[in-house]
Chain A
Amino acid sequence: MKQHGKTHTNVDKEPNLKGTLISVGVLGLFIIISWVAVFAIFLSR
């Protein structure tokens, strides 16, 4: 069995990962906001 035939026989469409995309986005946003907040404290001192 070659690699190709095996992988794509009964593959349903790509899984729906919208929730994941948003979650990771929110996570990234949280990191950036925390960073900027502490950086603001640094600047203000």
Chain B
Amino acid sequence: MALHNVVLPNEDSRQLLPIPKKEAKLYMSFMYVAFISLFIGGLMGLLQVLVRSGNFTLPFGIGYYQILTVHGVILALVLTTFFIIGFQFALMSKTVGMSDKQRNLSWLAFWIMTIGTIMTAITILLGKASVLYTFYAPLKAHPAFYIGLAFVIVGTWVAAFVNWRQLYLWKKKHPGEKSPLLAFMVTINMIMWFIASLGIAVAVLVQFIPWSLGYAETINVLVSRTLFWYFGHPLVYFWLLPAYMAWYAIIPKIIGGKLFSDSLARLSFVLFLFFSIPVGFHHQLTEPGIDPTWKFIQVVLTFMVIIPSLMTAFSLFATFEITGRRKGYGGLFGWFKHLPWKDVRFFAPFVGMLAFIPGGAGGIINASHQMNTLVHNTIWVTGHFHLTVATTVILTFFGITYWLIPHLTGRKLTKSVNRLGIIQTIVWGIGMLIMSGAMHIQGLLGGPRRSDYSEYGGTEQAVTWGAYQMAQAIGGTILFVGIILMVYIFIKLAFFSPKGDEEFPIAEEEENAEPTPMWMENWKLWVAITIALILFAYTIPFVDIIQNSPPGSVPFDWPIGNS
């Protein structure tokens, strides 16, 4: 530590710290919750596709919307958040370190999140909160559902403060140096998450909890939905950015290459911070009561996110090509062959990247107002996010799992688990191709999402959906096999693989890389621009929404909320 060289600003970010056993236990705790969630959520997914095929009825009076709520909450909110927070802690520990005090606080974060999760889960399982993961008013769940969610969010805030503190202390010890790339990225993601989750915290604390407890008679529905989507879009970037961390800073190491550009990676993260939050209206394009001008402005801001997305794509292709050419593969696409196709740490995230091509294209379609009217609330949307979150993000997280779990448990990723992982990835890819493909088509034919099996009174249009619902059942069943495989792999890596040292792969910069400009570290400026953009995009329409609201709504705990 005392030896660091002042001359080379790039030097320090390369020093990787060991992860002590005590910390490994903490990170593994997050992973246990994540993989238990994967199993439960996947089981619900299987039940959903079976029900929707028309060939299966849920036993014991369990409702379709009850299992759909379990599926959405436990996969989109619990699995993702626990995996991300655990993974990010590991990244911080590796690059900037963690003190004992920080570790204790992190345990506190873990327990607050876990208690909240258990509260929410029990409420849903008892059938007291079949309100789906978006919990739109005026559907009313049991108050414990909202209180549990509030706990989860507060827990993530504790984690965010710890992460910021970790970087702050490191910077104090290393004056004038740029922060390690991965620590920079984690900090950006947690700033975005914190600012975004304030919206949902306000909705839950000010609106939902008093209303569900009966203290407030009515709720302003449009305000609650607007606050939800102020949070809901950055939520998807909160999932995606940790995958990008792996793509930018870990995958190059796995394929035997170097970081393509430290500055480009940082700049793209800063742009994601700017353009992830002031865009929630693109989920509310069909919402009456929001001025179309402001919808248009937020759609324009949404499209800005294409810039860092294509920067990311460019950077990845360039990493692959440069590495391949360096290894002597010539020709226009010869470099493609060098990629380590048999290494699941690469292969799983790579399939995730592939899925992001149609996923991203679909996203641009969704955000275009005209076409949103075509796909809004259809199962196309479900097909879209099973590509983005349930394939791109999840396969990248699986790719991380293969080395992170053995690294934390002091074991090895064996050849046989690696092979099983390749099979898992292929199974997932095929299952998703079928399920998501069928969802996209059925959606274009008008098939609704969030729908129990129905023949819709025998209308002709509904008849055209049958084959696609059947295809979803087939794809979904294949996916469930993928989930079983992955849970098996996780257990194997956590408890039964042979002891050893598994590498924590972090890419290095080129020897002759251009130095990263120090203005990248201008945190105050980044936060100020982010807030300015949010205020610009939301202030006027939000005041308008409040001033011109229709009367609020009393709670409805039927037909599906809490009955």
Contacts and interface: CB of A to CB of B under 8 A. Distances in A.
B373 A42 contact: yes
Contact of B512 (A9, A28, A45): A9
A19 B358 contact: no
Interface in A1-45: 1, 3, 6-11, 15-20, 22-24, 27-28, 30-31, 34-35, 38-39, 41-42, 45
B515 interface: yes
B358 A34 contact: yes
Given A20-B318, A38-B371, A31 B512 contact: no
A23 B317 contact: yes
Given A1-B7, A15-B322, A31-B360, A38 B317 contact: no
A7 B512 contact: yes
- Interface SS majority for chain B: helix
Contacts of A9: 512
Nearest to B322: A15
A3 B10 CA distance: 12
Nearest to B8: A1
B40 interface: no
Contacts of A1: 7-8
B332 A18 contact: yes
A3 B360 contact: no
B444 A42 contact: no
B361 interface: yes
B161 interface: no
Contact of A15 (B325, B371, B444): B325
Nearest to A12: B512
B368 interface: yes
B492 to A, nearest CB: 36
A30 B321 contact: no
Contact of B371 (A18, A27, A39): A39
Contacts of B364: 31, 34-35
Interface string B169-194: 00000000000000000000000000
A20 B311 CA distance: 12
Interface size class of B (residues with CB under 8 A): 20 to 34
A27 B512 contact: no
A16 B515 contact: no
A10 B511 CA distance: 10
A27 B357 contact: yes
B332 A22 contact: yes
A22 B333 CA distance: 10
Nearest to A11: B512
A17 B368 contact: no
A6 B515 CA distance: 10
Nearest to A34: B361
A34 B512 contact: no
B32 interface: no
Interface string B338-352: 000000000000000
Contact of A10 (B313, B318, B370, B512): B512
Which of the listed residues A3, A7, A19 has the most CB atoms from chain B within 10 Å of its own CB?
A: A19
B420 interface: no
A22 B563 CA distance: 57
A14 B406 CA distance: 39
B314 interface: yes
B317 A19 contact: yes
Contact of B362 (A22, A23, A34): A34
B374 A35 contact: no
Interface string B475-519: 000000000000000000000000000000000000011110000
Contacts of B514: 7
A35 B325 contact: no
B362 A20 contact: no
Contact of B444 (A10, A23, A28, A41): A41
Interface of A: 1, 3, 6-11, 15-20, 22-24, 27-28, 30-31, 34-35, 38-39, 41-42, 45
The 5 closest A-B pairs by CB, nearest first: A20-B317, A34-B361, A23-B317, A31-B361, A20-B318
11 contacts: A6-B512, A7-B514, A15-B321, A17-B318, A19-B336, A24-B314, A24-B317, A31-B360, A34-B364, A38-B375, A41-B374
Given A24-B310, A38-B365, 4 more contacts: A1-B8, A7-B512, A15-B322, A19-B336
